[in-house]
Structure 1
């Protein structure tokens, strides 16, 4: 803020909340390599058994199965590159979504006008989280689980309430 109460965007504002959300993958690279080695070994042994029995086309189908499983895991790992970054400052709420292909979509909302809507089921928990402001509705955290969504919603609501209270002046500063 300047003396004339104009907003100065060059001044860094404190971050009230910052989160980077990424899809969960339970299988890391080492686990993937071990699984693929195991599948290759089992398919090769089973294929050789069928080859020795005279059913030679089955050997090729076992190899094809391994290739399809490899392709499915690669697609799954590629989709894990998606992310969402949510940042709340006293003057803006910024949602930056990066798709698995690298496409970036960004929304900038005023935290004073934002409300957090949630839809869910009593048994399952929170299914969807939405940021709603001036007729715009932005879905956030769609790849989180119900418990993670509840925790995320609680932290985001606290940050939005803090933004609505405004920046508090603290004359005692620590170096």
Structure 2
């Protein structure tokens, strides 16, 4: 083994690994169908208003369609954000990827890491945070409430397993 090429040990193998992504209820196929329907309806209304002589109204249908496309584009851009969370005996790693592709990594020692959850009485988990070693980071802020519950239970088990080994 040469210097600088440390081979991974059994302690470095992940006990837990998860990729968290925002939920989008409308896939690309559904988005295309929605745009086709909205575009067709806009064209029909544009034609009707042109025929009856209310041509200034035509611009509003064009603006509405452009705004609809823009809103969905922004939504899908935000949907490109993701987080990769892994737990091993020696490391807790949280990699946060922005929609632009920029990545920020937070690392914690599993023996010192604290996983805290804030709950609302009616909703459930509102926020999750890992802290330790002077640093902290929020995780899974874009998850829906059911996914937060599932992730929190699995992550807490993994952290307990890493500490007990």
Per the normalisation by structure 2, the TM-score is 0.92
Q: Distance in 2 between matches of 1:120 and 1:11?
A: 38
Q: How many residues align?
A: 159
Gaps of 5+ in 1: 1-7, 167-175
Per the alignment, residue 173 of structure 1 pairs with none
Checking the alignment, whether the CA contact within 8 Å between 2:108 and 2:133 is kept in structure 1 is: no
Determine helix, strand or coil for the equivalent of 2:141. Answer: coil
| Bigger mean CA deviation after superposition, 27-36 or 132-141 | 132-141
Mapping 1:6-155, distance limit 5 Å: 10-12=7-9, 13-155=12-154
Q: Distance in 1 between matches of 2:137 and 2:8?
A: 27
**Per-residue displacement from partner, 1:93-122 (whole Å, max 9, x unpaired)?**
000000001111001110000111111211
Per the normalisation by structure 1, the TM-score is 0.87
User: Which consecutive aligned stretches of 4+ in structure 1 deviate over 6 angstroms post-superposition?
Assistant: none
Q: Distance in 1 between matches of 2:144 and 2:137?
A: 18
Q: CA deviation at 1:65?
A: 0.8
Q: CA deviation at 1:136?
A: 2.1
Q: Distance in 1 between matches of 2:134 and 2:123?
A: 28
Checking the alignment, whether the CA contact within 8 Å between 2:23 and 2:144 is kept in structure 1 is: no
Q: Distance in 2 between matches of 1:11 and 1:44?
A: 61
Gaps of 5+ in 2: none
Per the alignment, residue 171 of structure 1 pairs with none
Q: CA deviation at 1:9?
A: 5.0
Checking the alignment, whether the CA contact within 8 Å between 2:96 and 2:105 is kept in structure 1 is: yes
Q: Which has the larger radius of gyration?
A: 1
Per the alignment, residue 163 of structure 1 pairs with 162
**Per-residue displacement from partner, 1:153-174 (whole Å, max 9, x unpaired)?**
11111111111012xxxxxxxx
